[in-house]
Homo-oligomer: A and B are copies of this chain.
Amino acid sequence: MRLSRSFLPTLKENPAEAQIVSHRLMLRAGLIRQTASGIYAWLPAGLRVLRNISQIVREEQDRINAQEVLMPTLQSADLWRRSGRYDAYGPEMLRIQDRHKRELLYGPTNEEMITDLFGQSVKSYKDMPQTLYHIQWKFRDEVRPRFGVMRGREFLMKDAYSFDVDYTSAVASYRRMMLAYLRTFQRLGVQAVPMRADTGPIGGDLSHEFLILAPTGESGVFYDAALEEQDWLDTPVDTESNDALEAFFNRVTAPYAATDEMHDTQAWEAVPEDRRREGRGVEVGHIFYFGTKYTQAMGVTVSGPDGAPLHPEMGSYGIGVSRLAGAIIEASHDENGIIWPDSVAPFRAAILNLKMGDAQCDALCEELYAAAPEYFLYDDRPERAGVKFADADLMGHPWQIVVGPRGAKEGIVELKRRATGERSEVSVQDALTRVLQSDDGERAPTNGQK
Measured CB to CB, the residues of A under 8 A from B are 1, 5-7, 9, 30, 33, 35-37, 39-44, 46-48, 50-52, 55, 65, 67-76, 79, 91-92, 94, 96, 98-99, 102, 104, 106, 113, 116-117, 120-122, 130, 132, 137, 139, 141, 143, 153-154, 343, 348, 374-375, 443, 445-450
17 contacts between A and B (CB under 8 A): A5-B130, A9-B120, A36-B75, A41-B69, A41-B71, A41-B117, A42-B69, A44-B68, A46-B70, A47-B69, A47-B70, A51-B449, A91-B99, A99-B141, A99-B143, A374-B445, A374-B447
Question: Do A5 and B65 touch (CB < 8 A)?
Answer: yes
Least Cβ distance of A83 to chain B in Å?
14
Q: Give complex CA distance A424, B448 in Å.
A: 27
Least Cβ distance of A11 to chain B in Å?
9
Residues of chain B within 8 A (CB-CB) of A71 are 35, 41-42
With A40-B72, A71-B41, A73-B137 given, is the CB distance from A448 to B48 under 8 Å? yes
Q: Give complex CA distance A306, B256 in Å.
A: 68
Q: Give complex CA distance A73, B106 in Å.
A: 10
Residues of chain B within 8 A (CB-CB) of A36 are 72, 74-76, 79, 102, 104
Partner of A141, one of B9, B98, B375: B98
Question: Do A74 and B139 touch (CB < 8 A)?
Answer: yes
Residues of chain B within 8 A (CB-CB) of A1 are 67, 448
Say how many copies of this protein the assembly contains. Answer: 2
Q: Give complex CA distance A6, B137 in Å.
A: 24
Question: Do A79 and B35 touch (CB < 8 A)?
Answer: yes
Q: Give complex CA distance A33, B72 in Å.
A: 11
With A143-B99, A450-B443 given, is the CB distance from A117 to B70 under 8 Å? no
Residues of chain B within 8 A (CB-CB) of A374 are 445-450
Q: Give complex CA distance A183, B41 in Å.
A: 28
Nearest 8 interchain pairs by C-beta: A9-B121, A36-B76, A42-B70, A41-B71, A91-B99, A44-B67, A39-B72, A99-B141
Residues of chain B within 8 A (CB-CB) of A74 are 36, 39, 106, 139, 153-154
Residues of chain B within 8 A (CB-CB) of A449 are 48, 51-52, 55, 374
Question: Do B72 and A117 touch (CB < 8 A)?
Answer: no
Residues of chain B within 8 A (CB-CB) of A96 are 94, 96, 106
Least Cβ distance of A12 to chain B in Å?
13
Q: Give complex CA distance A268, B340 in Å.
A: 60
Q: Give complex CA distance A39, B67 in Å.
A: 21
Question: Do A69 and B43 touch (CB < 8 A)?
Answer: yes
- 7 extra interchain contacts, Cβ-Cβ under 8 A, other than A33-B120, A37-B102, A72-B137? A36-B102, A41-B69, A43-B117, A51-B449, A55-B449, A72-B154, A94-B96
Question: Do B450 and A67 touch (CB < 8 A)?
Answer: no
Least Cβ distance of A16 to chain B in Å?
15
Residues of chain B within 8 A (CB-CB) of A94 are 96, 98
Name the residue of chain B whose CB is nearest to the CB of A113: B35
Name the residue of chain B whose CB is nearest to the CB of A11: B121
Least Cβ distance of A30 to chain B in Å?
8
